[in-house]
Amino acid sequence: MSKQREELEHRLKLRNIKLSDYEDIREIMISIYKDQGGAWTKQELKNQLKAFPEGQICIEDNGKVVAAALSLIVDYAKFGDNHTYDQITGFGKFDTHDNDGDTLYGTDVFVDKEYRGMRLGRRLYDARKELCENLNLRSIIAGGRIPGYSKYFDQMTPRKYIDQVKSKEIFDPVLSFQLANEFHVRKVITKYLPEDTDSRAYATLLEWINIYYEKDEKLIGNKKSIVRLGLVQWKMRRFNSVDDLMQQVEFFVDTVSGYKSDFCLLPEFFNAPLLAEFNDMDASEAIRNLADYTDEIISRMSDLALSYNVNIIAGSMPEYDGKKLRNVSYLCRRDGTTDKQYKLHITPDEQAYWGLQGGNGIKVFDTDAGKIGILICYDVEFPELGRILAEQEMDILFVPFWTDTKNAFLRVNTCAKARAVENECYVAITGSVGNLPRVENMDIQYSQSAIYSPSDFSFPHDATVAQAAENAETTIVADVDLDLLTKQRKAGSVRNLEQRRLDLYSVQWKKKK
């Protein structure tokens, strides 16, 4: 390789600034800020390195600094939004730095003019974001110049100018870059840098929010990031009693618990084999008699949740209060508490055979492994329900189902996957397999259990985390990452929840009169 070729090659390295880098830094700042005060003094850089060495970042090329980003940690409440650059930097002394603060404040970013177009500024911004996340700071805040405003100040207000830059009608060399790096404008401030004539002394107060920020870190009991799901694809078989049924339930609860699952999901009407006891009755009377077992099953299911340290979504069972027959799914938490979700939409077949009625409410359930929702079978085919739950910050949607034929299964399956994509959440579905001779309306089963995710780079390419074999009794045990959902909702390729046109439409729950 020729000497000339070696000299042309870039060797970029991201690192923290050293005091010995001062001359390189001074040279860049003088060339860029000759009309805005020039460069920091060596003593000012020394003060900043002493106060917060981790926050001073640079990119070198073949040993020479060609770009840098400087920052401090501040208790932002002490300054508020109406501060000046001198106030928040302590007039260059940097005695405002506070290791116990909550905000990373960007004091400067600059790139050698000869290195423009190499996206070094983006690398520095990404490094700042990583620092903010690793230090568990609430956000990055900075005052941003709007140098392009000098061409328009006699035509529009700063607010109008910023709106034009946001809509890309105007390009501003500073603000356009900051908006492209996921910063948003909190407000317009005046006299931030009085000497900045290009910006007419105006500035934008910009913020990037750390979506992973945790206000109160605890040594134990924090919200889980990785959650393990256990799904039971249940085979319908004859049971002679509730004891027989619960023995099989306990086998599967024990199995998924052995893999340290956080949740165990059972199918809709998993207790239907007990209907065989009422074969001499018509279908509507038989299922009302089946409902007599529900309280006992839930009591024993709750005991299993405690004993095996797993949250159980107990499929669904009939509930009859003497007036209404409903289909209900119980959440048995491993702390001993229970909750329930009624099926809202009743199929024509369920209405005709059994006289089932729909429930009237829906909610997100808090658990020690995230916020969850439950939609029973047919309910997942109504997208409004998933959206209402997503607006309540649901992480995982559980769908216990029962389908007899493949086309019925495909309706549930396709809609469940759509709910995961459109609501940026995980969706876990499971049903039953096998046959129940002589049990009217529950005789054949079809299922292929699965866990679905959003569709983006952080997730499986086909939005399928895991999938069971068709029509075989089995389990799925798989991990889902809740932090990826947070990232998807704020920084995904598309952001279905964030980018809804709420000025045009909305989904609202009507209170039942």
Percent of the chain with pLDDT over 70: 96
Dig out the tokens for 506 from the structure. Answer: 């909305």
Which of 12-26, 48-62, 71-85, 208-222 bottoms out in mean pLDDT, i.e. has the lowest? 208-222
Runs of H (alpha helix) within 181-278: 242-258
pLDDT digits (tens, 9 = 90+) for 203-260: 899 999 998 888 765 555 667 889 999 999 999 988 889 999 999 999 999 999 999 9
User: What helix, strand, coil percent values describe the chain, rounded to 5?
Assistant: 35, 25, 40
Mean pLDDT of 496-512: 88
Say whether pLDDT at 5 is over 50.
no
pLDDT band at 471 (very low <50, low <70, confident <90, very high): very high
Contact 428, 372 (CB under 8 A): no
Q: Which of 187, 204, 195, 188 is nearest to 146 (CA)?
A: 204
Instruction: Give me the sheet containing 365-367, strands edge to edge.
Output: 365-367, 370-374, 396-400, 426-430, 450-452, 464-467
What's CA 375's distance to the chain center, in Å? 20
Contact 59, 13 (CB under 8 A): yes
DSSP code of residue 78: G
Say whether pLDDT at 4 is over 80.
no
Point out the catalytic residue in the list 58, 264, 332, 377.
377
Instruction: Give me the sheet containing 57-61, strands edge to edge.
Output: 12-16, 57-61, 64-74, 103-111, 139-144, 202-209, 184-190
Q: What does the pLDDT read at residue 491?
A: 80
Q: Which residues of 316-349 are buried (b: 16+ CB within 10 A; e: fewer)?
A: bbbbbeeeebbbbbbbbbbeeeeebbbbbbbeee
Q: Which of 313, 310, 311 is nearest to 270 (CA)?
A: 313
Q: Which residues of 430-440 are buried (b: 16+ CB within 10 A; e: fewer)?
A: bbbbbebeebb
Cα separation values, 231 from 5, 400, 478, Å? 59, 10, 9
Q: Identify the H or E element spanning 308.
A: helix 294-308
Q: What does the pLDDT read at residue 213?
A: 87
Cα torsion angle, 27, 33, 36, 40, sign: negative
Q: What distance in Å separates the CA atoms of residue 441 and residue 351, rounded to the nearest whole number?
A: 12
State phi, psi for 111 to the nearest 5 degrees.
-135, 135
State the Cα angle at 154 between 150 and 160, rounded to 5°.
80
Point out the catalytic residue in the list 235, 343, 350, 425.
343
Place of tokens 């889980």: 224
- Catalytic site includes residue 268: yes
Place of tokens 């938490």: 333
Average pLDDT, the chain: 91
pLDDT digits (tens, 9 = 90+) for 302-322: 999 999 999 999 999 999 998
* Residues written for the chain: 513
- What do you get for the CA distance between the two ends of the chain, in Å? 82
Q: What does the pLDDT read at residue 2?
A: 45
Mean pLDDT of 179-198: 85
- Cα Rg for the chain, rounded, in angstroms? 30
Contact 133, 214 (CB under 8 A): no
- Catalytic site includes residue 377: yes
Say whether pLDDT at 287 is over 70.
yes
Q: What distance in Å separates the CA atoms of residue 289 and residue 276, rounded to the nearest whole number?
A: 11
- Is pTM beyond 0.85? Reply is no
Q: Hey, what domains does the chain have and what are their CATH numbers?
A: 12-209 (3.40.630.30), 226-491 (3.60.110.10)
pLDDT band at 1 (very low <50, low <70, confident <90, very high): very low
DSSP code of residue 184: E
Beta-bridge partner residues of 427: 397, 452
Q: Which residue has the higher pLDDT, 253 or 198?
A: 253
Q: Which residues contact 353 (CB under 8 A, 6 or more apart)?
A: 283, 284, 440, 441
Say whether pLDDT at 278 is over 80.
yes
Contact 161, 170 (CB under 8 A): yes
Mean pLDDT of 162-183: 91
Cα separation values, 332 from 194, 255, 374, 393, Å? 62, 17, 13, 21
pLDDT digits (tens, 9 = 90+) for 449-458: 999 999 999 9
pLDDT digits (tens, 9 = 90+) for 343-382: 999 999 999 989 999 999 999 999 999 999 999 999 999 9
Contact 210, 218 (CB under 8 A): no
Mean pLDDT of 427-437: 91
Place of tokens 């159980």: 312
Contact 465, 451 (CB under 8 A): yes
